[in-house]
């Protein structure tokens, strides 16, 4: 089995109300990455990506652009121990 990596990501800029969560979910599912994404009250988007390192890194790179309507100002990433996420969902 491939080693799994877990990244905890915070994206700031114009990232709410621009389909950022939906496109992140689609991208994650296409890549086979597990985890979740949600809006935060401070205007940022928070996400957790868990899967093979190469796929997780690709999703982090995606976050630097996001959806077509988004304007990303910053992406903060921290790495954690995998926790066994299964599937990818939008959290509310």
List active site positions: 21, 39
CA pair distance 61, 92, nearest whole angstrom: 24
In 10 A of CB 69, how many CB atoms?
A: 12
The per-residue b/e assignment along 5-16, b for 16 or more CB within 10 angstroms, e otherwise, is bbbebbbbbebb
């Amino acid at each position: 089995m491939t080693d799994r990596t877990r990244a905890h990501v915070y994206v700031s800029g114009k990232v709410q109300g621009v389909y950022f969560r939906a496109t992140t979910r689609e991208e994650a599912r296409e890549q086979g990455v597990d985890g979740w994404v949600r809006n935060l009250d401070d205007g940022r988007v928070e996400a957790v990506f868990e899967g093979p390192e190469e796929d997780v890194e690709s999703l982090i790179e995606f976050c630097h652009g996001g959806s077509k309507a988004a304007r990303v100002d910053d992406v903060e990433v921290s790495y954690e121990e995998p926790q066994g996420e299964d599937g990818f969902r939008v959290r509310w």
